[in-house]
Structure 1
Amino acid sequence: METKYLARLQFKAESPVVEGEWTRFSTAEDRYTEWVGLYSKDPNVVVWLIEATGGRERVLRTWTARGETVS
Structure 2
Amino acid sequence: MYRVMLQFEESGPGVTGEWASGATARKTYREWIGLYAAKDSAVVVQLVEETDGVRRTLRRWTAQGEVVAAGELAN
State the TM-score, normalized to the length of structure 2: 0.85
- Of 31, 41, 44, the residue aligned with 1:43 is 41
* Aligned-pair CA distance for 1:41: 2.4
Alignment map for 1:1-71 (pairs within 5 Å): 4-39=1-36, 40-71=38-69
Secondary structure, counterpart of 1:41 in structure 2:
coil
Q: Tell me by how many angstroms 1:12 deviates.
A: 1.1
1:69 Cα deviation (Å)?
0.7
* Higher-strand-fraction structure: 1
Paired residues, what number?
68
When the two chains are superposed, the root-mean-square deviation of aligned CA atoms in Å is: 0.9
In 2, distance between residues paired with 1:17 and 1:53?
Answer: 22
- Runs of 4+ aligned residues of structure 1 deviating over 4 Å after TM superposition are none
